[in-house]
């Protein structure tokens, strides 16, 4: 059975990828410790990993790794990670498929599909592949990735969609989970690196100036969330900032809070240690 290895440094990542054979299916899980859906996905992956071989002479091996998308931002940038949880299936340094979100069904289906594909061709591949061959990771230069977006929980089924009341109930359940996905959640137009409105841009700037650690959701990418959150929050405009599952408000409200209390974000700020020359 396989287990999930937590990768904590870029050096460890490069060494691990270089050690894999060309037949190994590499399952890469990007997560953020503050995102609730990642906890659920980690449990799913642990259960799945136990069903697959870590490597043998008869079965194509699998390798399961977990990376903090924020701490290893250069690697996240390489794989275009903008939301967590985010799964990458890779073999021989080639991306086979990616799965964004916390759908256990999609994750299982993707892993099974690529693991079976390897099994069906393993015998012929083994004859062509020299013993001890390995792959190396291609690294790309890039700036640190923005705080990952939190994906909305999995959508309702067709049966739920057919019942308007049930669909509304499920949507509100999703929104209730989503606003609590991080201690500070920003629902904005666009992303922190590419805001799509001036108010969102200003609010992102305020959070960055105060080193606030936050999750975000691009409401332009999900119209159901965009429209539903207006009713759920009883707040008709964006951006919206939520703290500890409670709506604070938009840009004007945040500015007012900061004017009356300069330490408004102190509990959610990342303290930056200042270094001095020796």
Average pLDDT, the chain: 79
Q: In the chain, where do the E strands start and end?
A: 4-7, 25-31, 62-68, 83-84, 86-91, 94-100, 149-150, 184-188, 190-191, 194-195, 215-218, 240-243, 246-249
- Which residue's structure tokens are 């903090």? 68
pLDDT > 70? residue 122: no
How distant, in Å, are the alpha carbons of 19, 45, 164, 204, 248 from that of 169?
Answer: 48, 28, 9, 31, 23
How distant, in Å, are the alpha carbons of 15, 69, 178 from that of 7?
Answer: 10, 11, 27
Residue 129 pLDDT class (50, 70, 90 cuts): very low
For the chain, list the domains and their CATH numbers: 5-115 (3.40.30.10), 170-268 (3.40.30.10)
Say which residue, 123 or 46, is predicted with more confidence. 46
- Which residue's structure tokens are 């009356």? 260
Find the angle CA(93)-CA(133)-CA(4) to the nearest 5 degrees. Answer: 55
pLDDT of amino acid 270: 79
Return the sign of the alpha-carbon dihedral for residues 253, 232, 269, 85. Answer: negative
Residue 2 pLDDT class (50, 70, 90 cuts): confident
Say which residue, 187 or 222, is predicted with more confidence. 187
- pLDDT digit string, tens, across residues 189-238: 888 888 888 899 999 999 999 999 888 888 888 888 888 999 999 998 89
């Amino acid at each position: 059975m396989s287990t999930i290895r937590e990768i904590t440094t870029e050096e460890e990542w490069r060494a691990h990828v270089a050690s894999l054979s060309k037949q190994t299916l590499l399952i890469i899980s990007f997560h953020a410790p503050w995102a609730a859906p990642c906890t659920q996905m980690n449990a799913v992956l642990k259960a799945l990993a136990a069903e697959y071989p870590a490597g043998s002479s008869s079965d194509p091996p699998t390798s399961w790794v977990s990376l903090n998308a924020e701490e290893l931002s250069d690697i996240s940038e390489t794989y275009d990670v903008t939301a967590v949880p985010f799964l990458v299936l890779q073999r021989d340094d080639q991306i086979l498929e990616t799965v964004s979100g916390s759908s256990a069904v999609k994750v299982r289906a993707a892993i099974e599909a690529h693991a079976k594909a390897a099994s069906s061709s393993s015998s012929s591949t083994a004859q062509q592949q020299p013993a001890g061959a390995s792959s190396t990771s291609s690294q790309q230069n890039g700036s640190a990735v923005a705080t990952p977006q939190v994906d909305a929980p999995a959508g309702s089924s067709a049966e739920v969609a057919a019942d308007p009341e049930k669909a509304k109930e499920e949507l509100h359940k999703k929104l209730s989970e989503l606003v609590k996905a991080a201690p500070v959640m920003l629902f904005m137009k666009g992303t922190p690196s590419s805001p799509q409105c001036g108010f969102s841009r200003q609010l992102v700037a305020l959070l960055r100036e105060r080193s606030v650690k936050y999750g975000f959701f691009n409401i332009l990418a999900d119209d159901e969330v965009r429209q539903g959150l207006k009713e759920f929050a009883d707040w008709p405009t964006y951006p919206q900032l939520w703290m500890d599952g409670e709506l604070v408000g938009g840009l004007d409200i945040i500015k007012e809070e900061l004017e009356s209390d300069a330490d408004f974000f102190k509990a959610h700020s990342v303290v930056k240690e200042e270094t001095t020359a020796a």
